Structure 1
Amino acid sequence: MLFAVVMGAAHYYVWRRAVRDTTPPGRARRIGTAVVVGLFALLVAGVATNVGVLAWPGYLWLACVFYLALLFAVLEVPRALLNRAARRRSAPVPAHDAAVPAADVAEPSADVPAREPAGTTTGTEAGTPPGAPDGPSRRLFIARSLAAVGGVAAVGVVGYGATQALGDPLVKRVPVALAKLDPKLSGYRIAVVSDIHLGPLLGRSHTERIVRMINEQQVDLVAVVGDLVDGTVEELGEAAAPLRDLVSTHGSYFVTGNHEYYSGAEPWLTELDRLGVHPLRNERLRVERAGAGFDLAGVNDVTGRSFDDGPDFARALGGRDRSNPVVLLAHQPVQAREAAAHGVDLQLSGHTHGGQMFPFHLAVGLQQPVRSGLATVDGTQVYTSNGAGFWGPPVRVGAPPDITVVELHHNFAGR
């Protein structure tokens, strides 16, 4: 309901700037109004049903109306200044107080053009270029020009964002130094992927691409840190099936994100285990190579608390040898504060999408301690992936999708 109200307000604002301000009453305004109402209905239907044929245009229009409203708001300042200037130019110039004496008026000759009557001005003298629209026409011209600027800019931003969201994820390589890591494990490589978001807009081909890109990196371990799906196993099991083809030295592991709980977590955990992507449900295991090792732990997402399946850090991390490093898989970066209290060396997370669409980057920082990349929270290093998919509009602006290879080192030199 709140979503519909907010979107209704956005559409009304876009209608005012793109339709009402740019058309006189009549047929053109009625057609423009019908188009905006129809697009609003399409958006609501696409979001409510999540059926591909409606979801694709509905979510794309969601991104368009968002950026239209944002750009029109930015253009309010130049709009006000231009309209103010237009009112000044169209104001009448006061007549002279005194009349010109008849004796002083000379007959115009053939060589001298007649003077304008006193109290009148030419368009140039009034500050209006010849041929420029006057009064209401000028204001209509300003409204149409700014609507065109906002429309072209919004379409350009959404088009660029769609190519980012639907293209191949970037492969990032991030070295991380762990003081407790045995030098024998320096160079250990973990592929981190999050927020794949299989659903009505992303299917099997998306999973196949991600699996191919991870396998090309020849990593030691794969960590899928939540929000794999937006739908049930019955709906999306086939789309997730390529995960069985992931290849790594020490296997693939998974922790729940908030969207797993919306989609039926238990059936998905069973299905992923069957595909060889092993869930870590508030538990840990030992990873060893060349006689050295570290602890790999995973905790459930905080949303699980509403489903009697929340994170349990004491269970996942209690009773271990703290002289050994521990790498924690946790969907949300906000879980890092509790992880730090349990002595976690490195937390791998997702959830934020890196903000996905600017300027949502700013809002993410109000909720999560790390929006994107590597940072330190209360002494624990936290790496947050932008995610390999998207949620809602198939658009990413300022936050391209990624798959990250985290390379563990005893020190930053990597020796």
Structure 2
Amino acid sequence: MAIVFVLIALLVVAVLVTGNWYVWRRLFRDTTRGPGAVRRAGAVVMAGGWALTVGALVAERGGAPFWLQQVLAWPGFLWLALALYLLLAVLAGELVRPVLRRVLERRARTAAEVPAPATAPAPAEPIAAGAGAAPSAVTASGDEGDGSGPQVSAAPSRRLFVSRVVGGAAAAAAVGTVGYGTYGVLRGPSVKRVTVPLAKLPRAAHGYRIAVVSDIHLGPVLGRGFAQKVVDTINSTQPDLIAVVGDLVDGSVKDLGPAAAPLAQLRARDGAFFVTGNHEYFSGAEQWVEEVRRLGLVPLENARTELPHFDLAGVNDVAGESEGQGPDYAKALGDRDQGRACVLMAHQPVQIHDAVDHGVDLQLSGHTHGGQLFPGNLVAGLANPTLAGLERYGDTQLYVSRGAGAWGPPTRVGAPSDITVIELASRQA
């Protein structure tokens, strides 16, 4: 097993080194005439960016002082996103490069085939007696020189010109993509509304609204101000119930307690409920369960509460199994009235199969972030039964939120953040 881990690690390192060398070559080596300050600066920027990324990851997982985590997180995690889109943009540039080169070659041939207009020779001017002045030097581009002799044009070659155009466009596209994706996260999540019919829901509960929020990821990047935006957005929907389905934090209660404080302002007629996500088990799950309880949320640790018209249950995240705190469906669902509708809060979509076995009507999940950074959606889609949105599994429906925040880079591309208002519909209405 150790040998397999080492081989995988070496493969990952080899891929990263090759990818970064390729990006450096296209952006810095191919766009300059020779070794110099630009190439060296490019190497320093890229090596420094990855050093900050590794530092940010190690600091967060290693429990470094919170101020150090904050210092490293912004540049380190943003570089991670920028490196990804620089690579993708440079790869896309390979499709443009030969086309642009052929266009320039065609234009050059066309220009060479056009005959120059005939002009009459200019009459020679007399040279003043005794002047002895030499004609001024002319550069290859037709400009007058400084009298020191013919000058060689400094215009770049066609290949160099193409490399500069494609490299510049790739860099601009990557920076623009990351900038816009980061703005989207910091602006706060939008509200998404979804109607979910439940066969067992009584007519009296028709139109019941559940505000679902997941993956807020308070940490060294997203802090108290972001939490306040999330709380204000949820409260503005005036829900009947609030479901916080895991991955609230990335850090300890000591460091992030003040950031989570706005959660005490959550308001819903039937209260706010919480279940753990995998990141809570990286951050001290037991302490956070007590903290959210202190803030007024109700933790559902493999537990169920009977609301007037349906049951609301919650199970721990599967990451808790390593601490003996994994999901216990029998405890949460085993003795309930099967004639009542049941809504289950479970952080990961993969928990849907157990929900189906226990006759759950609707499972509310998060975890996937919708992929967060394209093409991450392709990987997340393979690892989860549902990437985002509403799907049916037998008699059980699964709704997966893309989440309110972001992990790692505070950036989303192709997977905008959301808070979802689930409106339950009775088929008897």
What TM-score range do you get, normalising by the shorter chain? 0.7 to 0.9
% identity of equivalent residues: 54
Quote the residue 1:387 is aligned against.
403
Q: Conserved in 1, the CA contact under 8 Å of 2:214 and 2:245?
A: yes
The answer on 1:215 being equivalent to 2:257 is no
Aligned to 1:279: 299
Q: 1:294 & 1:256 partners in 2: Cα distance?
A: 22
Residue-by-residue CA offset, 1:1-24 (whole Å, 9 max, x unaligned): 677665444322211111121123
Query: Is contact 2:188–2:226 with CA below 8 Å preserved after alignment?
Result: no
Q: Which residue number in structure 2 is paired with residue 75 of structure 1?
A: 93
Corresponding residue for residue 163 of structure 1 = 183
Deviations 1:273-296 (A, max 9, x none): 1111111111111001xxxx2111
Residue ranges of structure 1 left out of the alignment (5+ in a row)? 92-108, 113-131
Q: Are residues 1:12 and 2:44 paired?
A: no
For residues 350 and 34 of structure 1, the distance between their equivalents in structure 2, rounded to whole angstroms, comes to 38
Q: Tell me if 1:141 matches 2:161.
A: yes
Measured in 2, the distance between the counterparts of 1:267 and 1:234 equals 10
Aligned 8 A contact 2:26 2:90 in 1: yes
What 5-or-longer segments of structure 2 have no aligned partner?
1-8, 61-68, 110-117, 122-152
1:376: Cα distance to partner? 1.0
Cα distance change on mapping 1:8 and 1:233 into 2, 3 Å: farther
Q: Does 1:242 align with 2:262?
A: yes
Equivalent AA in structure 1 for residue 218 of structure 2: L
Separation in 2 of the partners of 1:376 and 1:331? 17
Is contact 1:10-1:65 (8 Å) kept? no
Give the aligned partner of residue 21 of structure 1.
30
The correspondence for 1:315, drawn from 301, 306, 331, is 331
The superposition leaves residues 133-165 of structure 1 with CA deviations (integer Å, 9 ceiling, x where unpaired) of 99x922222211110110111111111111111
- Aligned with residue 270 of structure 1, among 283, 290, 302: 290
SS at match of 2:79: helix
User: In the aligned structure 1, how far is the partner of 2:186 from the partner of 2:277?
Assistant: 22
Q: Which amino acid aligns with 1:174?
A: V
Alpha-carbon separation, structure 2, partners of 1:6 and 1:277? 45
The 1:42/1:234 distance shift into structure 2, 3 A limit, reads same
2-structure distance, mates of 1:395, 1:410: 38
Q: Which contiguous aligned blocks of 4+ residues in structure 1 show a shift greater than 3 angstroms?
A: 1-10, 80-91, 109-112
Residues 166-193 of structure 1 show CA distances to partners (whole Å, capped at 9, x for unaligned) of 1121111211100100101111111110
Residue 59 of structure 1: aligned partner: 77
Deviation readout 1:354-379 (Å, 9 max, x if unpaired): 11111211111101111111111233
- Could you say which residue in structure 2 is the equivalent of 1:397? 413
Deviation of the 1:386 alpha carbon: 1.1
Report the 3-state secondary structure (helix = DSSP H, G, I; strand = E; otherwise coil) of the residue aligned with 1:254. strand
Aligned counterpart, 1:345: 361
Give the match for residue 192 of structure 1. Answer: 212
Would you say the 8 A contact 2:213–2:420 is kept in 1? yes
**Contact preservation (8 Å) 2:49, 2:75:** no
Q: Distance in 2 between matches of 1:161 and 1:84?
A: 34
The residue matched to 1:322 in structure 2 has which SS? coil
- Contact kept in structure 2, 1:280 and 1:299, CA below 8 Å: yes
Distance 1:206 1:320, change over 3 A: same
Match for 2:171: what amino acid?
Answer: G
In the TM superposition, what whole-angstrom CA distance separates every residue of 1:61-120 from its partner, at most 9, and x where no partner exists?
2111110101111222333555688899999xxxxxxxxxxxxxxxxx9989xxxxxxxx
Count how many residue pairs are aligned between Structure 1 and Structure 2: 372
Give the direction of change, closer, same or farther, for the CA distance of 1:151–1:321 in structure 2 (3 Å limit): same
How far the C-alpha of 1:343 sits from its partner, in A, is: 0.8
Please name the residue that 1:100 is paired with.
Answer: none
Aligned to 1:229: 249
Alpha-carbon distance between aligned partners in 2 of 1:209 and 1:81, rounded to the nearest angstrom: 47
SS at match of 1:190: strand
